[in-house]
Amino acid sequence: MPQDDKLFDTIMDALRAARAPREAASSSGQHLQEEKLNSGKEPEQSLQPSQPQSPREAKTAEQLAAMILEDILKFEGCPRRGVKITVYGGKHWQAMLMFGVEAGPVRNANEIRALMQTITERLQNRYNLTW
């Protein structure tokens, strides 16, 4: 499970970065525009994957939903009851987050949905949905 904790930490770091002021994004965007103007061409982007690609493991919808729910419940402010994840689709599977009555009012629902989307995207790269 240490790999799962590392994945969760990476996702949480990405979520925190998304909350950061947009000033950093605008200044880096300005830097890229200046680089393009000065050189007359697009700045080079790294297209190398950070890890070698390995075959994706097959998981059922129930297994994937449980993995997503486990990570979401670690998020501060997420209700402990009334949260349901549904995984659906085929080769290009998706996940849906629902808050039931038991969850009560969820003040940070958009943040939890964004976290769920990030978790889902990372899992989509690692697992295929099997029935």
Rounded CA separation 69/54 (Å):
25
Q: Decide if 103 contacts 82 (C-beta within 8 A).
A: yes
Look at 93 and 46; give whichever has higher pLDDT. Answer: 93
Over residues 38-79, the pLDDT tens digits come to: 555 555 555 555 555 668 899 999 999 999 999 999 999 999
**pLDDT of amino acid 23:** 45
Locate the domains of the chain by residue range.
Answer: 57-131
What is the per-residue pLDDT for 22? 47
* Mean confidence (pLDDT) of the chain: 80
In sequence order, the 6+-apart residues with CB closer than 8 A to the CB of 18 are 114
82-109 average pLDDT score: 95
Q: Is the pTM of this model over 0.75?
A: no
